[in-house]
Amino acid sequence: MKAAETSVPTGLDRMNGLLAWWGVPNAFDGSEMQARTKRFQVLVLDLNKLFNEASSSQAQALSAANEQFTRGLQELLSARQPPELMAAQSRLLTGFIESLAAQTRAWAELTQKLHDCCSATVREAAAEAGEHAGRPVPIKSQSDGERPASKASTKRTAQG
């Protein structure tokens, strides 16, 4: 562990030297590279937390589905009359559908959280790049309705 801890600053020093050689301003002090490395570490920790939460919710959904399936199968095997059989089949099917809905909900939440996390990171990087270039960068994100039309849809509209 100690070797890895000492190799990171050495690697950053080498990278700062290379950036300075290429003419990147403020590369010798290393603060910019360290700030970027710190932001990347925060991003990795946030993503790890999101994936752990998603994994936990998937495990809970699968556990609940397994319990429902076991109960439904027991009811199905113990059914003696046609109405009991139909009720057991419908409970079994309901369990499958509820399990699918819970898993889909978990994936949708993960997708939304990933979008929020990554778009915030991109906005921060764009704002930083704009500051380095000397021009302000708008931080407002575009919604689906505000996005510019693609070239293909513009051609289709012009032809139609």
pLDDT tens digit string along 48-101? Answer: 999 999 999 889 988 988 998 999 889 988 989 999 999 999 999 998 999 999
CB atoms within 10 A of CB 61: 19
> 64: which residues sit within 8 A by CB, 6+ positions away?
99, 102
What's the rounded Cα separation, in Å, for the pair 73 and 39? Answer: 50
User: How do the domains of the chain map onto residue ranges?
Assistant: 39-134
Helix, strand, coil shares of the chain, percent, nearest 5, are 80, 0, 20
pLDDT at 111: 93
Q: How many CB atoms lie within 10 A of CB 39?
A: 14
DSSP category for residue 24: -
**The whole model's pTM is what?**
0.58
Q: What is the dihedral of CA 93, 96, 101, 102, to 10 degrees?
A: 140
Pick the residue with more confidence: 112 or 36?
Answer: 112
For residues 64 and 97, is the Cβ–Cβ distance under 8 A? no
